Amino acid sequence: MIHVHPLPAQERADAFTICIRLLGKFEVSVGRRTLTEDEWRLRKARHLIAVLALAPKHRLHRERAIDLLWPEQKASLAANSFHQTLFVARHNLDPEGAHPTRYMQLKDGFLTLAGDVDVWVDVHAFEAAVVDARQNRTSLAYQTALGLYAGDLLPGDLCEDWSCARRESLRQRYLSLLLDFAEIQKVAHDYAAAVDTLRRVLEHDAAHEEAHRALMQLHVLMNNRQQALRQYHLLCESLQRELGIMPDAHSQDLFERIAAGQME
C-alpha cells in the first residue's frame, strides 16, 4: 500500500511499515529500525530498493530492473547478480528472516516493493505536496512541499544513469516551486521573504536567469535601484562563468528600464 501524505504518522511506525528517503540522502526505516550505512554491505542492494521506490506503484519487471542496474553485463551474469542482490536487499529489510519475501516480492516476473505493506517514499510525498501547493496556493502548502525536498535525489549516486533524469526533473520542480512561492510572497507585499526564497533558487543554480530578474524587480519595489542594478551584474557574471553567455533580451531590457529610472 502506497502512502504519499507529507510525513508518515508515528502510529504507523510498526513492524510492517517502510519509510524510504531518497532526497538529500539514502535512508530506509523498517518500523522503528533505521538501517545504518554499515548494514548495506552491497551497494546494488541500495540501488535495487531505490529503483523500486521510484517506480510507479513500486513495481518493476525483473528484466527492466536488470537493464537499469546491470546494463553492460551479459544476460546470465546480470541475472545472477540480480538474484544475489535481491537476496541481500531482503536480508537488509528483514535481518531476522521472519518475513523473507514480504518486503520484496518476485512474482510472474515482476518485482514489487512491500506489496501488502505500508510504504512511504519522500519523493512521492514531495510530488504530491507540489500538486497540493499549486492547487491551494497557501503559504503553508508551499512550505510543506518545500520542506520535503531535503536535497537532490540520491546525491551519493550521481554517476548512475538510471537516476539522472529523475534527479534533474525533481530539482527543476523544486526550483519552480520556489519561484511560485516567491511570487505569492511578492503579491502579499512580503518582499523580504520573497528575496530570501529567490536566493534559495540561486543557491542551487547561480545562473538561474528568471530568479535574478525576479530579484531585480523586488529590489526596485523595495526602493533599492542600485541593488537591482548590482543583481543584473551578478547575473552577467554567473552566466559567463557557468555557461559562457550573456543575459537574454528580457533581462537586458529590464536592466535598461531600471537604469533609466522607468520602474520607480
- For the cut 60, the answer to whether the pLDDT of residue 179 exceeds it is yes
Backbone angles phi, psi at 105, to 5 degrees: -110, 135
CA-closest candidate to residue 86, choices 98, 71, 103, 72: 103
Give the pLDDT confidence score for residue 261 in this predicted structure. Answer: 87
Pairing between β-strand 2-3 and β-strand 104-107 as defined by DSSP bridges: unpaired
Average pLDDT, the chain: 90
CA-closest candidate to residue 235, choices 194, 201, 185, 191: 201
Residue-wise pLDDT for 250-260, tens only, equals 999 999 999 99
Mean pLDDT for 106-126 is 89
Are residue 166 and residue 68 in the same domain, yes or no? Answer: no
> Is residue 127 domain-resident?
no
Mean pLDDT for 222-247 is 96
Are residue 110 and residue 190 in the same domain, yes or no? Answer: no
Are residue 116 and residue 166 in the same domain, yes or no? Answer: no
> Is residue 61 domain-resident?
yes
Quote the CA–CA distance of 163 and 150 in Å, as a whole number: 17
**Contact partners, residue 137, CB within 8 Å, separation at least 6:** 184
* Number of domains composing the chain: 2
CA-closest candidate to residue 14, choices 98, 88, 115, 118: 118
Backbone angles phi, psi at 109, to 5 degrees: 85, -5
Mean pLDDT for 226-249 is 96
Q: Locate all alpha helices (DSSP H) within 17-100, ordered by sequence.
A: 43-54, 62-69, 75-93
Give the pLDDT confidence score for residue 203 in this predicted structure. Answer: 96
Q: Which of 120, 143, 176 is the last residue of a domain?
A: 120
Are residue 75 and residue 172 in the same domain, yes or no? Answer: no
Q: Which of 120, 137, 171 is the last residue of a domain?
A: 120
> Is residue 138 domain-resident?
no
Helix and strand tally (H, E) in the chain? 10, 8
Quote the domain boundaries for residue 109: 2-120
Residue-wise pLDDT for 145-178, tens only, equals 999 999 999 998 888 899 999 999 999 999 999 9
pTM flag (> 0.75) = yes
What CATH number does residue 106 fall under? 1.10.10.10
Q: Residue 1: pLDDT band by 50, 70, 90 thresholds?
A: very low
What CATH number does residue 235 fall under? 1.25.40.10
For residue 207, give Cα distances in angstroms to 98, 237, 250. Answer: 52, 8, 15
> Is residue 19 domain-resident?
yes
Are residue 191 and residue 247 in the same domain, yes or no? Answer: yes
- For the cut 70, the answer to whether the pLDDT of residue 9 exceeds it is no
DSSP secondary structure letters along 106-159: EETTEEEESTTSEEEEHHHHHHHHHHHHHHH--HHHHHHHHHH--SSB-GGGTT
For 58, other C-beta atoms within 10 Å of its C-beta total: 23
Residue-wise pLDDT for 11-70, tens only, equals 444 444 789 999 999 999 988 889 987 788 899 999 999 999 999 999 999 999 999 999
> Is residue 135 domain-resident?
no
Are residue 94 and residue 181 in the same domain, yes or no? Answer: no
> Is residue 54 domain-resident?
yes
Give the pLDDT confidence score for residue 11 in this predicted structure. Answer: 43
